[in-house]
Every structure is written in structure tokens, then in C-alpha cells.
Amino acid sequence: MHGVRVPKRDAEQVRRRLMGDDILLRDYQPIRDGDYVIFPASECPEGFDCVERDFPARRKKPRSLEDALREFLDPEDVQHVTKSFDIIGHVAIIRIPDELWAKRKEIGEAILRVHPNVRTVAAEVGPHQGVFRVQPVEIIAGEPNLVTEYREFGVRLRLEVGKTYFSPRLSYERYRIAKQVRPGEFIAALLAGVGPFPLVIHRFQPNIRVYAVELNPDAYRFLVENIRLNRAEGKIEPILGDVRDVVPARYPHQADRVLMPSPILAEDFLDVALAAAKYSGAIIHTYALGPNDDPFTEKEYELLRFFRDRGWDAKVLNRRVVRSYSPRLDQVSFDVYVKRL
């Protein structure tokens, strides 16, 4: 391949000249040779020192993650990887199947190349764990920083991936509930995490009062910070503790609306939801997992029976599939109106 050899101090001027003459080969990188730079060129222009060299090809920026992954994965694997990642602020979290685990670093680098706002890529290394529902992760590319800030409907949420629960996939669910809230409501945000549900509600309906209860000290710390960041002090009261102790001791039967945003834990805390609900009537937003051929029927029956057996009238106002949870299970939500009989 032809190369145009110029002293370093003239390199920029000559590069422009070669570009202007349309003979600079832009798909290849120039090379250094002591105090000289050698530019790849399609021909040797008159009056220049020309040499024959091999030049390294430039790596083109892929247009999409698919393009970047296709460089080293099979088409089915590409599909799988592109469907199984979330971006939370500057952190991408990806589920990598066992058979592709050896390629995790390349996958992480591909995500960094394509998503300019992602600075850290973390891979899931197991399911959500324990009562705190935290997702264990391993950083596979980029900066070693899992404290991130996510924005949704103008709400700022800071959190630490791996130490606090958060899912961007519940964004519409938060919006859906926020739009139902009426001015003056008193809301029990149980299992509050870093505060996404109460903060999105507050964004759309600031004329409310909420108490938000969280057991994980890390999540509680971010809850307090997020309330401050979103200027919701005095509207949302953060409480560190177990809902089972806090609700009956501090706010028994006072809430117009009770949030139970966890399909795994909600079932165990339905009695606490009733302890929070006003006797004169309240709406409980609760969640469950059901088989995807019919995710509602059995769960709805159990839910209504639970409330009725404890002396409450109960009626399902809305139910919907929130998201696919696993190949066989859907996460569903129920908005239930309850009133003491």
C-alpha cells in the first residue's frame, strides 16, 4: 500500500492536503516512524517522499449493538444478548448465558462502544437475593462504579446497583399509578426501595403526603437522598424499618392508598397492607407472579379470599400484566379497593 512520509511537524497540513485531493485512505490508520508520520494513500502525489507499507485498518464505530456483536457472536446469540440488558444511568446490566460467559469482556466492550452514555457494564451473576431483593453483579467492562443516577419523568433517582433494588422496566407501572392519585391523599409506600414509586407519584401529584418504609439501610440512605434531590421533603417521610412493626405502631388504618411493589414479597405482607388501609376505604396496589397462559384467575381468587376472610369487602378495580418475569411466569398487578365490613 502507498504511504506518504512527512515530518511530524507538517503532518496536519499534509493530512488536509491528502484529504482535499481525495487520496487519503480513511479506512486505515497512519503510522509513526520516528520523527515522521506515514499516511496511507491511494496514489503517490508528486513532490512527496513515498514508501510502501502495510497500515492497520481502522475499527469502524458500529451503528448498533447488533453490528458490534456480530463481529464475534452467532446471530442467535446476538438476538439473545440485545434483548437481555437494562441501562440504569451510566450502568448497563446484562444477563449473559453460561455458554457466552467466556465472551463477557468482549460483550461489555461492545456495549461501551455503542452506547456513549454507558460507562460501566455489569453482568448478573445470580438471581435477586434475600429480603432486600438485590441483584448480585460483576463488572465486566468500563469504570468500577455502580453508584448511578437514573431519570424517569423528570424524577432523579440515585442508587447503587448490586446493593439496592431498582428496575427501569416498571416505569409505566409507576406512571399508571401516579395518574390515579387524587389531591390530598395519604399514601403508604411499603417496600419502598430507593423511592421510585412515591417520587413519581409526587412528580405528577405534589399535593399528597406519603410515608415510605424500607428495611435495607443502603436503599434507605438513597431514599433519603432522592427525596432531597427531588425536593419532596415534608411530603414523603422516609422510615427505616420493617413494615410489620412500623405500620401498626405509627400509621394504623390511615392510608387512602397502599403500595406493595414486589411480586415476591407482597403476598407475605397482605396483612400489613390491611393494617395500613383506612377502614372507610382504600386502594391497595399489589403484585403477584402467575403462569403466562392465565396469570390472573388463581391469584385474584386468593387475594379476594384473603381480604374477605379478614372482614374486608374487596373488589379488583384493574389488573394487568406488568411484564414477562421468566419464560413461564408473568408479573401481574392488581388494584384492589378494600373497605372494612
Ligand X SMILES: C[S@@+](CC[C@H](N)C(=O)[O-])C[C@H]1O[C@@H](n2cnc3c(N)ncnc32)[C@H](O)[C@@H]1O
Torsion of CA 196, 199, 205, 210, to 10 degrees: 100
Helix axes 171-178, 196-204, angle to 10 degrees: 40
**Smallest gap, in angstroms, from Cβ of residue 221 to ligand X?**
12
Pure H helices in the chain: 11-20, 65-70, 75-83, 104-114, 171-178, 196-204, 217-229, 243-250, 270-276, 297-309
Q: Any contact of residue 261 with ligand X (CB under 6 A)?
A: yes
219 binds ligand X (CB under 6 A): yes
55 contacts 33 by C-beta, under 8 angstroms: no
One residue of 24, 178, 210, 215 binding ligand X per CB under 6 A: 215
From candidates 40, 108, 196, 290, binder to ligand X by CB under 6 A: 196
Up-side HSE of residue 281: CA atoms within 13 Å toward CB?
Answer: 3
State in angstroms the smallest separation of the CB of 153 from ligand X: 14
Residues 97 to 156 in contact with ligand X, rule: CB under 6 A? 131-133
What span, in angstroms and rounded, lies between the C-alpha atoms of 272 and 292?
A: 28
117: its cell numbers: 452514555
The residue among 238 and 295 lying less far from ligand X, judged by its C-beta, is 238
Residue corresponding to grid cell 384467575: 297
Q: Which of 41, 110, 146, 192 binds ligand X (CB under 6 A)?
A: 192
Bridge partners of residue 31, in order along the sequence: 38
Among 6, 14, 65, 213, binds ligand X (CB under 6 A): 213
Among the listed ranges 8-16, 140-148, 210-218, 299-307, the one in contact with ligand X (CB under 6 A) is: 210-218
Q: Which residue is nearest to ligand X (CB)?
A: 193
Nearer to ligand X, 141 or 259 (CB): 259
Min. distance of Cβ 239 from ligand X in angstroms?
9
Q: In the bound complex, what is the minimum distance in angstroms from residue 331's beta carbon to ligand X?
A: 10
Residue 27 grid coordinates: 479506512
For the bound state, the minimum distance from the C-beta of residue 217 to ligand X, rounded and expressed in Å, comes to 9
Shortest reach from residue 165's CB to ligand X, in Å = 4
Quick one: which segment of 39-47, 87-95, 189-197, 317-325 binds ligand X (CB under 6 A)? 189-197
40 is a site residue for ligand X (CB under 6 A): no
Q: Taking CB under 6 A as the rule, does residue 220 contact ligand X?
A: no
Which stretches of the chain are assigned E, i.e. beta strand? 2-7, 31-33, 36-41, 49-52, 85-88, 91-94, 120-124, 137-142, 147-152, 155-160, 186-189, 209-214, 236-240, 257-260, 282-291, 312-324, 329-340
In the complex with ligand X, the residue whose CB is nearer, 103 or 244, is 244
Contact between residue 335 and residue 277 where contact means Cβ atoms under 8 Å apart: no
Q: Contact 165/244 with Cβ under 8 angstroms?
A: no
Decide if residue 242 touches ligand X (CB under 6 A).
yes
Question: How far apart, in whole angstroms, are the C-alpha atoms of residue 241 and residue 117?
Answer: 35
Least Å distance between CB 90 and ligand X? 19
30 part of the interface to ligand X, by CB under 6 A: no
CA distance 297 to 302: 9
Nearer to ligand X, 51 or 87 (CB): 87
CA distance 259 to 267: 12
Options 49-57, 62-70, 193-201, 223-231: segment touching ligand X (CB under 6 A): 193-201
Q: Which residues bind ligand X (CB under 6 A)?
A: 131-133, 165-166, 170, 191-193, 196-197, 213-216, 219, 242-244, 261-262, 265
